[in-house]
Amino acid sequence: MGTKRVSVEQRKTLTEEYKSSFVISYLELRRTIGILGMSLPFILAGGAWVFFSIGLQISLSAYYQTPMRDISVGLMFFLSGFLWSYRGYDRRDEIAGKLAAVFGWLSVIFPLPQGPASALGVLHNILAAAFFITLIYFSGFLFTKSHSGKPLTPQKLRRNLIYRVCAVMMGVSLAVGLTLHYLPAFAPFRPLLWGETLASEAFGIAWLVKGEGILKDEEKIR
């Protein structure tokens, strides 16, 4: 009987260790998505300026037409790949992750062209908008969910506030940046680029918080 009891306890221990390692890697996935989102604007703008003496472009998508093209494509494919792998509380999280990934990939496959407006440019803008709208949905509606029947901790309430603030910041930044982009007086200041940059930072913060980088629930002492 003693041998059997030890075997059962060992299996329980191994199961808990497996679950623990799974959760850690899953949290790392979320943090990786956040870091990629936050670093994307700085890598593109900084790389173009430092290595090629190229100034700020009108938008993040416009860096496709610079020597930073391969970096831009690679980062978007990586980010979209991580989003494709994302899982959450229910089916909605998985669907949103896959939609964001598809929109991200397609926005790279159909890049923003140079020159006057064209059908390809319109298609790219629609895909880019759909990508950001899905990310706003993540932050404002999916991240605020919790296990049914589980009381919200003070940390969870604070995290939900951050998620909602990030969602609003993303929406407002993109709306203002896009509006000013079409006003000739503001065009030289690259408003769309700054709007996308602020939205990317808000996106990254939300995912870092979701990855328990900050405001992590305190573990109960057993």
- How confident is the model over 23-51, as a mean pLDDT? 89
Q: What is the pLDDT of residue 9?
A: 56
Single pTM value for the model: 0.84
Cβ pair 61, 122 in contact under 8 A: no
pLDDT tens sequence across 73-109:
999 999 999 999 887 778 899 999 999 999 999 999 9
Cβ pair 213, 34 in contact under 8 A: yes
Residues whose CB is less than 8 angstroms from the CB of residue 213 and which lie 6 or more positions away in sequence, other chains included: 31, 34
Stretch among 64-68, 75-79, 115-119 having the lowest mean pLDDT: 115-119
Does residue 90 sit in helix, strand or coil? coil
Dist. CA 113–CA 13, nearest whole Å: 56
- Residue 155 pLDDT > 80, yes or no? yes
pLDDT tens sequence across 177-188:
999 999 999 999
